[in-house]
Amino acid sequence: MTTMFVVIFLEQWLKEGKHYTALIGFVFSIGSLLIFGADNFIIPAMVGMLAALTVLRKPIEKAGGFL
């Protein structure tokens, strides 16, 4: 499972010119891991990423963060 997330992160990192979305995912994953622990971090991380990407959608698109 860890390898799958690393591959997804690296693929996202390599295909984007600007790395806003990859960094949002990384920050929310690490933050949730530190706050909720290894057994309970996935759902809060996904909810946080979804909220951040929803709120920041227009600025990220204008900056060229999405393809």
Q: Where are the domains of the chain?
A: 20-60
**Is the model's pLDDT at 65 over the cut of 80?**
no
Do 2 and 11 form a contact (C-beta atoms < 8 A)? no
The rounded distance, in Å, linking the Cα atoms of 21 and 60 is 8
pLDDT for 62 beyond 90? no
Q: In this predicted structure, what is the pLDDT of residue 36?
A: 97
For residue 9, the model assigns a pLDDT of 82
Percent over 90 (pLDDT), the chain: 54
pLDDT tops 90 at residue 18: no
pLDDT digits (tens, 9 = 90+) for 27-52: 999 999 999 999 999 999 999 999 99
